[in-house]
């Protein structure tokens, strides 16, 4: 449910589906900051001739990714604990995904440089970054910080290193040597409001007695989630000039095509 109700996953998967079609069937894919390994599993399952690899700083994420891959009998995917700022890959990749990870890395320019060096010539980097952090519901920010501080706000407060503007992160990507092909704003007003509604549901689930939470969750699923999904679909299918997220698709030009 969390994967479906997270709008950025819609954008990232659409980008992946389109980009994968432009490469030969045996392409090499790296998820830098793979979390639980969702995208590596997704790529490996649907592209049996491709090689997928996930790296993450947290050993528990790597263990989970390996466990899922083994349970699905996927032999074209691997996971390894690694720091993006110090990674030394033994191969080059056609597609690298870095999804909502760079903002947690203090030495972000070193990370981008390593991602650049790990790409094949004409390889593609898919970079998703939260920006702006604008709120639309007047009580949303206050309630989330008050009631969800031990959920994801605590995580952000401890590990968030950068609050990028769109121009700042795009300049860093260009400075790394990559050429930006697409920059797409996500989480405009509709998407942001949908996210804030989802946060309200999490507050209820985490802060109220279990029986009451289950009752509220049933009502929420029957009445609010359809409205939330409509907001997300509006965001997904409309062109935005601003938003709380930015999807960047950048290419590593070969030396022959650099000019």
Q: Which tens digit of pLDDT belongs to each residue from 151-205?
A: 554 455 567 789 999 999 999 999 999 999 999 999 999 999 998 888 777 776 7
Cα(first)–Cα(last) distance of the chain, in Å?
46
Q: Which tens digit of pLDDT belongs to each residue from 191-217?
A: 999 988 887 777 767 667 777 777 777
Residue-averaged pLDDT of the chain: 89
Domain of 135 in residue numbering reads as 7-33+84-257
Q: Is residue 53 part of a domain?
A: no
Q: Is residue 59 part of a domain?
A: no
Bridge pairing between strands 119-130 and 51-56: unpaired
Q: Which CATH number goes with the domain that contains 99? A: 3.40.50.150
Q: Is residue 47 part of a domain?
A: no
Q: pLDDT at position 258, please?
A: 53
pTM for the whole structure: 0.90
Q: Which of 57, 6, 7, 56 is nearest to 30 (CA)?
A: 56
Q: List 184's β-bridge partners, or say none.
A: 247
Number of folded domains that form the chain: 1
CA–CA separation, 33 and 97 (whole Å): 8
Q: Is residue 165 part of a domain?
A: yes
CA–CA separation, 162 and 160 (whole Å): 6
Q: Which of 225, 226, 234, 154 is nearest to 187 (CA)?
A: 234
Q: Is residue 92 part of a domain?
A: yes
Q: List 57's β-bridge partners, or say none.
A: none
């Amino acid at each position: 449910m969390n994967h479906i109700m997270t709008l950025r996953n819609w954008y990232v998967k659409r980008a992946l589906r389109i980009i994968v079609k432009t490469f030969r069937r045996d392409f090499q894919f790296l998820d830098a900051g793979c979390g639980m390994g969702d995208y590596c599993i997704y790529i490996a399952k649907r592209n049996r001739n491709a090689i997928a690899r996930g790296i993450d700083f947290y050993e528990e994420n790597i263990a989970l990714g390996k466990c899922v891959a083994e349970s699905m009998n996927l032999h074209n995917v691997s996971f390894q604990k690694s720091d993006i700022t110090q990674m030394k890959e033994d191969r080059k990749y056609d597609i690298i995904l870095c999804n909502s990870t760079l903002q947690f890395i203090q030495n972000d320019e070193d990370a981008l440089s390593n991602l650049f060096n790990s790409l094949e010539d004409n390889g593609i980097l898919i970079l998703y970054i939260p920006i702006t952090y604008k709120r639309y519901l007047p009580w949303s920010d206050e309630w989330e910080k008050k009631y969800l501080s031990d959920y994801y706000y605590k995580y952000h407060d401890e590990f968030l290193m950068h609050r990028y503007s769109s121009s700042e992160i795009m300049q860093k990507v260009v400075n790394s040597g990559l050429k930006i092909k697409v920059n797409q704003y996500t989480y405009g007003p509709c998407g942001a409001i949908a996210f804030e509604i989802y946060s309200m549901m999490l507050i209820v689930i985490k802060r109220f007695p279990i029986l009451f939470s289950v009752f509220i969750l049933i009502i929420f699923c029957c009445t609010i989630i359809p409205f939330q999904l409509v907001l997300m679909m509006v965001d997904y299918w409309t062109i935005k000039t601003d938003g709380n997220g930015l999807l960047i698709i950048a290419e590593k030009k070969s030396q022959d095509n650099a000019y």
